[in-house]
A and B are shown apart, each in its own frame.
Chain A
């Protein structure tokens, strides 16, 4: 039994931490980069590729240097601490997982993702699909010219800047059928795109497909497995990101409570406050444990992987609400301001529960997966 990181991973962790600290030393960077035309800083993205951060998210089978659950968590915990807006989740985790979890992996695109030159978005969510894996209204029909896709995809992360999108579309069956889903690779040219910033400062887009031609890369069981694996990788990455954010929330709150004085003494000297800090600390230890478990068993059989990922994401949703709300409450008015960094960490922490399945969704999944 050993719960510590290997020497190699520790070094990687230090390198990546330094990289994010230098690029995201102030909360202003988060706002500035989020409002660049692409919604992130291309230079930082390219540098992160050169440094091997994207590579750390992808398996050696496809030219990367990592790609295990532990690697994903290591990188995303640091991403959480930095609040960086580069497309690590959309391209680095979701698309790379989707493109490598099919029978004929897209190795060329994966190598271009690793070197930072190619962005791909994963477009599965629809306006009314909530977090469901099989809910697909977008349609795909086979024609003499190839597959034609019609429909809409929503909340597509970095959907405005990617050159290709991975789109789930229904080939046959009802909206919620497990079977009959296809996964298509579609060029972004000529797709009607409406892009926007999310409330926590990330870039997303609504995509409208009209007679769009696409390449079928997986269908039926293979497609569903690919969607499930991709969602799992995303949920794990977000859970680790949330853990990083929680640690920043806790440390910042504790520091603030030492300096902020009311009634002639530091706010942190009040027992009512101290006990709530301990509750926060305990939640964070629990989240840390569940993220470690989900990371360590990410390469296990599908049922174990899914069960542990759902446990982590459920706990992150529940604990995240507590940490975010307590961080704001214990800071008081200052945390209500745009200017103060912690407000944006708290916002991200809450909004993570709206991505890749919320606490309720994952609790229900866990319930189904948990044997009696």
Chain B
């Protein structure tokens, strides 16, 4: 057994770290650190500099302009991006649609769409969930009727993350309503400028606009925008969902949050002593750290196996469950750590250029908000309950 990164991998990490330090604009990393709102331009700026370097499409083979990295290299890269407080790479084009087009798209589609994902001409949104189809995605109702040279699409998609910035959306639509739920689904690429599409914001419990509803009323979509074969979209959808996601455990996010928690617990006082010296509270931190330490090894075991060609199966689901629980726990302890300082809510504090003084310590204003925001992670991407169903079905033989 050897838990060390190889020399080559260590150098690779240093290369990325140095590059991020020199290239990532400080104005953007400051915003990420302070949990301020990021503009479309902030995301785009980061993705553009990544693309200039050739590091944007970490999940694509080199022939299409991807990095061709193995699982360990991707893991290192994902870690360093988070450590550097860079914005996340918006995944819908790069991580989700790209691999589907490469695997199932026509030559024409690949030639047209892939470069546009890389150079930022297209910002993709994901049209999967519907009001009546969350965990039970296959029960989706959005209809696409084949009119010969085009489809007519009617229906509604929801939870469309950053859809307010998107000019394109890939959608799962029902093309055969008479077949079994999974078999009548198709995968369509839709231009957001098409008449009949309306985007309505959903404001989440933390007061933010991150997700949207997308409504389709008699939207005309050319037949050539169908990916693969009609009625076989479920296969592509699943391919996209189970696409190897090494970052699923979110270990670096939790590590950053844990360090933040320790720092705050030194600055916060209880009965005249730093909170970190309170045996009950520091015990909670200690057990969280122990869970995270074990999960980091579990994650590395999976990443290491993936780099040797073993596709992660139920490990992804287990890591998703534990990863989200641990990450949520960090936000919970942060919220507890600051006590009543968690109460004040100044929405304008998260705007660019806000210069007023905060109420209480400058780190306090975002903590409760983060806690509420992070409730989503055990729901999205296949809720933790669905992950348990997947593991049970895949490995118990019950």
Which residues in A have some Cβ–Cβ distance to B below 8 Å? 1-6, 70, 254, 257-258, 266, 268-269, 271, 274-275, 277-279, 281-282, 285-290, 292-293, 295-297, 308, 311, 314-315, 318, 360, 363-364, 366-367, 370, 372
Contacts and interface: CB of A to CB of B under 8 A. Distances in A.
Given A268-B398, A372-B266, A289 B297 contact: yes
Contacts of A308: 293
B295 A289 contact: yes
B321 A367 contact: no
A45 to B, nearest CB: 29
Interface string B2-21: 11111001000000000000
Contacts, number: 123
Contacts of A287: 294
Given A70-B1, A274-B392, A367 B283 contact: yes
A372 to B, nearest CB: 5
A285 B314 CA distance: 11
- Chain B contact surface mostly: helix
Nearest to A1: B304
Contacts of A363: 283, 286-287, 290
Contacts of B276: 372
A4 B398 CA distance: 29
A290 B1 contact: no
A289 B301 CA distance: 8
Contacts of B398: 254, 257-258, 266, 268-269, 274
A290 B388 contact: no
Contacts of A274: 388-389, 392, 396, 398
B295 A314 contact: no
Contacts of B315: 285
Contacts of A286: 291, 294-295, 298, 322
B300 interface: yes
A292 to B, nearest CB: 6
Interface residues of B, number: 45
B352 interface: no
A360 B290 CA distance: 12
B318 A285 contact: yes
B392 A282 contact: no
B385 interface: yes
A311 B296 CA distance: 13
13 contacts: A1-B4, A2-B304, A70-B1, A254-B396, A257-B398, A268-B398, A274-B389, A282-B318, A286-B294, A287-B294, A292-B301, A363-B283, A372-B262
Given A1-B2, A1-B72, A1-B300, A277 B289 contact: no
Contacts of B297: 289-290, 292-293
Contacts of B283: 360, 363-364, 367
B290 A311 contact: yes
The 6 A-B residue pairs with the shortest CB-CB distance in the complex, in nearest-first order? A289-B297, A274-B392, A268-B398, A290-B294, A367-B286, A289-B298
Given A363-B286, A367-B286, A372-B276, 13 more contacts: A2-B1, A258-B398, A271-B389, A278-B387, A281-B395, A289-B296, A289-B298, A292-B1, A296-B1, A314-B286, A318-B287, A363-B290, A364-B283
Nearest to A73: B1
B282 interface: yes
B391 interface: yes
B23 to A, nearest CB: 27
Contact of B385 (A275, A295, A296): A275
Contacts of A289: 294-298, 301
Nearest to B303: A1
